[in-house]
Amino acid sequence: MNRWLCLTGIALLLDGCATTPTTYLTLAPTTGPTVSIASPPLAVAKVMMPAAIDRLYLTSATGPTTLHVADHARWAAPLGGEAQNTLADDLAQRLPGTTVLHPGDPAPPGGARLIAVNVTRFLPDPSHVVLNADWRVTARDHHRVLATGRDHIVIPSAATPAARASAMSAALGRLADRIIARLDR
């Protein structure tokens, strides 16, 4: 009888310690103002992320020199690839008359202008998301720089993983707006 009670107690204890289900996050394009500019095709060639945040689990800033890696909030795909696809979607939505190529799309005849983004910070904290990024657009021949930027974007956010992913998506949308503004000059 004691063995039965012991096993039942262990089973109840283990049931109470069941793990929290993992939340899978993704970035999503955001709507923004559309711009009609005559533009050859654009390709988001790469979005480079710092190794400290380009990981499977949501990483948040907890202080000036500390990070928290969430146990139960995970990216559905690597963050750099998510950001690259989302930025391409944001640009395509905002530039309806321009072909915007996604990673893996074949280059059209004559090639495309390339957008390269180097993210230096892309972290949520309890109240906002910060995106710091250097970017450049090069001509089809890859030798001539057409536009460059260094942007600091801050988007308010709540502390939940879903709210943070949404704010990170909004930050990429704002980056798309700034790239387009410099392309239109």
pLDDT recorded at residue 12: 45
- In a domain? residue 6: no
How far apart, in whole angstroms, are the C-alpha atoms of residue 175 and residue 122? 12
pLDDT for 142 beyond 70: no
What does the pLDDT average to over 113-141?
Answer: 91
- In a domain? residue 21: no
- In a domain? residue 135: yes
- In a domain? residue 26: no
- In a domain? residue 145: yes
- In a domain? residue 17: no
Sign of the CA dihedral with 88 first, then 92, 98, and 103 last: positive
Q: Which position has the higher pLDDT, 107 or 32?
A: 32
What does the pLDDT average to over 125-149?
Answer: 89
- In a domain? residue 7: no
pLDDT recorded at residue 14: 46
Query: For residue 54, how many other CB atoms are within 10 A of its CB?
Result: 19
What does the pLDDT average to over 62-78?
Answer: 88
Q: Which DSSP letter does residue 33 get? A: -
pLDDT recorded at residue 26: 95
Confidence band for 2, pLDDT divided at 50, 70 and 90: low
CATH number at residue 101: 3.40.50.10610
The 3-state DSSP composition of the chain as helix, strand, coil percent (nearest 5) reads 30, 35, 35
Ranges of H-type helices in the chain: 2-16, 79-94, 161-183
List Cβ neighbours of 26 (8 Å cut-off, separation of 6 or more): 75, 76, 77, 82, 165
Number of domains in the chain: 1
Highest mean pLDDT among 4-13, 31-40, 70-79: 70-79
Q: Which DSSP letter does residue 77 get? A: S
What's the domain range around 45?
39-183
What does the pLDDT average to over 149-163?
Answer: 93
What percent of the chain clears pLDDT 70, i.e. is strictly above it?
88
pLDDT digit string (tens) for 71-114?
Answer: 889 999 999 999 999 999 999 999 998 999 988 888 888 888 99
- In a domain? residue 11: no
